[in-house]
Amino acid sequence: MASPHSSSAPPPPADLEALQKRIAALAPDLPKRLRQCAEWVLAHPDRVAVSTVAQLAAGAEAPPSAFVRFCQALGYAGFSDFQTVYREGYLWPDYGVRLEKLRARGDRSAPGLLAAFVEAGRDSLETLAKTLDPADLEAAAALLARARMIHVMGLRRAGPVAGYLAYVFEKMEIPAMNHDLAGRLERRAALRPGDAALAISFAPYSEETVAFAEAAAARGLPVVALTDTLASPLHPHIRRALLVKEADVGAFRPLTATLSLASALAVAVGMKREEALSE
């Protein structure tokens, strides 16, 4: 039966998955310092296995004693017991060997495909870093940062890129509009003086995006293009071109490098706007 005192204290989780759930469940009810520990631990699970209490506590901006109390609140005797769960949960299958295996299984299996995509992605990123002209990027960011509103367009394969940019711009509270043709609406009237346009298109270039760039240019807006070749039909209409070349896996071309460039562009625009505001 239960021991004379303490009917409570459910046994502490023994595997990482359960432990993380428990932490997440418990966090809201914890006092401030302990909650900081909980949140930091959830955000940096990789560090727990290889750090000392002092280091983790410092990360969570709490004293080590608070961290130990946090472990005890979860039902463990102390930090060491708690850490053990993370250590066992993080015994990684070893790593170079793993990629080798993925590759060895050949292109037909799903994991083999993943290996191919991972490798293609890394190549694309390397190429991007090597070939992109920093001056172009800088100039494109400056140009968009000055705009009252940024009009983004990208269809088909470029669609997700446009969607991602719209999302990031909104997150940063930068006025932006994604011309995604939902409901077949072209919304050209939204293109106003003082705005800027960002057209994303890859071969085979979709007519609508080219027409969009042309319309924006005709209204005097500066147009930045994110595209794959200098021969792109967007060319006559644009102020700056950012070129990305993606490595392909068979007939498929993931958007790895393109999205990294898009991210950098968006954040750069955000920073430039902040600077401008604080001046």
Partner DNA sequence: TTATTTTTGGAAAATTTATTCCAAAATTTG
Partner DNA sequence: CAAATTTTGGAATAAATTTTCCAAAAATAA
Phi-psi group of 106: left, alpha or beta (phi > 0 → left; psi -120 to 50 → alpha; rest → beta):
left
How many other CB atoms are found less than 10 A from the CB of residue 190? Answer: 12
Q: Which residue's CB is nearer to DNA, number 67 or number 212?
A: 67
Q: Which does 275 bind (CB under 5 to 8 A by kind): DNA, a second copy, none?
A: a second copy
Least distance CB 31 / DNA (angstroms): 4
3-state secondary structure of 120: helix
| Cα–Cα distance measured from residue 167 to residue 177, given in angstroms and rounded to the nearest whole number | 10
Between 114 and 133, how does the x/- string for binding to a second copy read (CB under 8 A)? xxxxx-xxx--xx-xxxxx-
| Cα–Cα distance measured from residue 34 to residue 63, given in angstroms and rounded to the nearest whole number | 10
Q: What is the DSSP letter of 189?
A: G
Q: Which residue's CB is nearer to a second copy, number 125 or number 215?
A: 125
Paired strand residues for 152? 178, 198
Between 11 and 50, how does the x/- string for binding to DNA read (CB under 7 A)? --------------------xxxx----------------
Among 19, 23, 41, 62, binds DNA (CB under 7 A): 62
Among 18, 42, 50, 52, binds DNA (CB under 7 A): 52
- Comparing CA positions, the residue from 187, 231, 192 lying closest to residue 212 is 187
Least distance CB 58 / DNA (angstroms): 11
For binding to DNA (CB under 7 A), which residues are involved? 31-34, 52-54, 62-66, 68-69, 71-72, 77-81, 83
